[in-house]
Amino acid sequence: LDKPSFVISPAEAESAANQLGVSVFQLLPSLVYPAKSFALPPISKFHVGAIGLGSSGRIFLGVNVESPGLLLHHSIHVEQFLVTNLTLNDERHLRHFAVSAAPWEHCR
């Protein structure tokens, strides 16, 4: 079973940006909604995606993850997933990020 890597290399990011005639920074919003497809929200059914551009030029994905049988406040929020993804991949700085939805009311 292929697993998504949740990381886009600088070369892949540049290639995608060039194909669309935009900069990597301008590419970020167009990646947010496809990232939502990786979310796992069996409780709320509310898919959220985030994209972060690290100082290395890599692009990182974040999604929300909910666990059946647990209350929603035990969920992994999209921002938590994104920051954990950066940390696990030794990315030191998050330069820019885009997210598909504002934090839900419990987190505001």
Q: Which of 12, 79, 91, 105 is catalytic?
A: 79
**Cβ-Cβ contacts under 8 Å for 58 (sequence gap 6 or more):** 7, 8, 9, 10, 13, 89, 91
Count Cα neighbours of 92 within 13 Å in the Cβ-side half-sphere: 2
12 is catalytic: no
The rounded Cα 79 to chain-centroid distance in angstroms is 8
Q: Give the type of residue at 27.
A: L
| CA triple 78-83-87, angle to 5 deg | 145
Please list the active-site residues: 79
